[in-house]
Copies of this chain bind each other. A is one copy, B any other.
Amino acid sequence: MDTKGLGTNMICQVGLVVRDVEASAKMYSQVFGMPKPDVRITDEASIARTMYRGKPTSARAKLAFFDMGQVTLELIEPLGAPSTWQEFLDEKGEGVHHIAFRVKGTDEVVAFLSGKGIEVAQQGHYTGGMYTYLDSGSALGVVLELLEDFA
């Protein structure tokens, strides 16, 4: 087991699950006096290759991002199909789904967390990198996300 842990404690993203990303993005832009960002959709299954609780899923989501200093605020509207986003929305309603950290060597970090009893909930790819959501709700009260950009 790798003992370096996450290798970082710098939160780089706070991710919220919302019901209507256009409406939420508009409200955030008004409250914070920031331009409303464009809403984009996660990559299709052939690129994302999303795995949810060990099985492939066609789940996608609409996303909007706000820069808030060190931290990016991510708004996520799940579009159905099984995912950690949809699960959160169904169980908890709108709210903060995850806090994210940039890591190097996702597999080693995942092995370290597994040693703490925290397993992978969902994993997928985006152009230039991959993300991993950990099933850390019961241990930490919130999902951790690992973000790794490929060099």
Contact = CB atoms under 8 A, between A and B. Distances in A.
Interface of A: 4-6, 9-11, 14, 16-18, 24, 27-28, 30-34, 66-71, 73, 75, 92-96, 99, 113, 116, 118, 136-137, 139-142, 144
16 contacts: A6-B31, A9-B32, A9-B34, A9-B66, A9-B67, A11-B68, A11-B69, A11-B70, A11-B71, A28-B140, A31-B116, A31-B136, A70-B70, A73-B99, A95-B96, A96-B99
Nearest to A67: B9
A94 to B, nearest CB: 4
A137 B94 contact: yes
B139 A16 contact: no
Contacts of A71: 11, 70-71
Given A92-B95, A141-B18, A116 B30 contact: yes
A33 B139 CA distance: 15
Contacts of A99: 14, 73, 96
Task: Decide if the interface of chain A is mainly helix, strand, loop or mixed.
Answer: mixed
The winner among A14, A28, A141 for most chain B CB atoms within 10 A is A141
The winner among A24, A67, A96, A99 for most chain B CB atoms within 10 A is A96
The winner among A5, A17, A67, A68 for most chain B CB atoms within 10 A is A68
